[in-house]
């Protein structure tokens, strides 16, 4: 049993790390002239084709859904996946991978706010503190704090927070279908809906010359297979063996990997204050999923073990 937990933890960490590599493949596609909208289109299209092929071949029963649930799949595919990815990639193009991923990690805060309004869940003092810490952390990352300047345009900041909001919207749409369908069913239909929304307006066919290069296909398959399908499958398998709160904390490795890729591979430069901001966002994530009581108990336990 202990080995199962270790394996589960490892699967969640590896899956999240694969998500953290997304920025590397996106930046490589930008170098060939792809727009953020087109990158999202190829990511969803190739992922959808692979998933539909695999499920049709090996598990057709996962394709069965009720027509009345289609609006929820459309909501997940269009808002929670397609528009989220577009906002995320737009911020990445306008600023950096490190800054873009910080905005994504505001999603737990948006989820808490949405739950308090939509599902009447209580907004506790701890969640309020987490929101405040996230705001301070984001302020440091975009360099509004401590000197009151801005390293990003207002439009980029709005897109960043929309990325966090759209990512959080998954909890709304997913809440209605997660109990009735397998995660693979939700994922494949969501991606197909996202593809149908993005493809007609992407002008992806105008990039004919780019598709001649093998490096382009390498990055397309990498972002589709590694950072989408493999990441999702590994994370989902691990999630079946451990608590979702622990998985959420372990998944923050995505942020760390994305920052490391940005700094050491893409040569992005982060100031000391921006690093403090990233640390504060991770802290707020911990506060969002763990209660004060559990944190104190954990600290007390670790002290006793010493």
Of 48-57, 60-69, 92-101, 163-172, which gets the smallest average pLDDT?
163-172
At 152, give phi and psi (nearest 5°). Answer: -120, 155
* 118 vs 204, more confident: 204
Say which residues have a Cβ less than 8 Å from residue 293's Cβ, sequence separation at least 6.
Answer: none
With tokens 């499958």, the residue in question is: 233
Q: Check residue 176 and give its pLDDT.
A: 82
- pLDDT value, residue 1: 45
In 3D, which of 47, 28, 29 has the Cα closest to residue 38?
A: 29
pLDDT of residue 304 exceeding 50, the answer is: no
The mean pLDDT of 115-138, rounded to a whole number, is: 83
Average pLDDT of the segment spanning 222-249? 83
Output the pLDDT for position 290: 66
Domain boundaries defined on the chain:
1-32+213-269, 34-95+152-211
**Rounded-to-integer distance, Cα 192 and Cα 62, Å:** 14
Task: Please tell me the predicted confidence (pLDDT) of residue 238.
Answer: 82
Those residues with Cβ within 8 angstroms of residue 81's Cβ, 6 or more apart along the chain or in another chain: 44, 170, 190, 191, 194
Asked if 160 and 91 touch (Cβ cutoff 8 Å), the reply is yes
Q: What is the mean pLDDT of the chain?
A: 87
pLDDT digits (tens, 9 = 90+) for 74-92: 999 999 999 999 999 999 9
Handedness of CA 199, 204, 208, 210 (dihedral sign): negative
Determine which of 19-23, 180-184, 224-228 has the lowest per-residue pLDDT on average. Answer: 180-184
Helix, strand, or coil (residue 251): coil
**160-203, pLDDT tens digit by residue?**
999 999 988 887 788 788 888 888 898 899 999 999 999 999 99
Higher pLDDT, 116 or 45: 45
């Amino acid at each position: 049993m202990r080995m199962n937990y270790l394996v589960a933890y490892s699967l969640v960490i590896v899956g999240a790390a694969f998500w953290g590599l997304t920025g590397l493949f996106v930046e490589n596609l930008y170098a060939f002239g792809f727009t953020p909208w087109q990158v999202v289109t190829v990511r969803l299209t190739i992922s959808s084709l692979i998933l539909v092929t695999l499920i049709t071949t090996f598990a057709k029963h996962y394709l069965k859904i009720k027509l009345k649930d289609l609006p929820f799949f459309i909501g997940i595919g269009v808002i929670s996946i397609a528009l989220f990815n577009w906002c995320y990639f737009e911020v990445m193009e306008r600023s950096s991978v490190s800054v873009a991923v910080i905005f994504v990690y505001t999603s737990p805060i948006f989820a808490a706010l949405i739950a308090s309004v939509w599902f009447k869940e209580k907004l506790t003092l701890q969640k309020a503190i987490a929101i405040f810490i996230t705001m301070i952390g984001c302020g440091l990352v975009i360099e509004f704090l401590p000197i009151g300047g801005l390293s990003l345009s207002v439009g980029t900041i709005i897109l960043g927070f929309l990325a966090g909001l759209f990512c959080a919207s998954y909890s709304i749409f997913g809440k209605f279908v997660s109990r009735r369908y397998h995660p693979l069913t939700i994922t494949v239909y969501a991606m197909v809906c996202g593809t149908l929304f993005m493809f007609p307006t992407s002008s992806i066919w105008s990039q004919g010359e780019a598709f001649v290069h093998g490096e382009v296909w390498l990055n397309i398959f990498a972002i589709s297979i590694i950072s989408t399908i493999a990441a999702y499958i590994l994370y989902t398998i691990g999630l079946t063996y451990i608590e979702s709160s622990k998985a959420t904390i372990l998944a923050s490795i995505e942020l760390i990997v994305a920052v490391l890729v940005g700094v050491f591979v893409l040569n992005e430069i982060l100031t000391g204050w921006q690093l403090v901001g990233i640390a504060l966002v991770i802290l707020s994530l911990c506060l969002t999923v763990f209660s004060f009581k559990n944190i104190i108990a954990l600290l007390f336990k670790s002290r006793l073990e010493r």
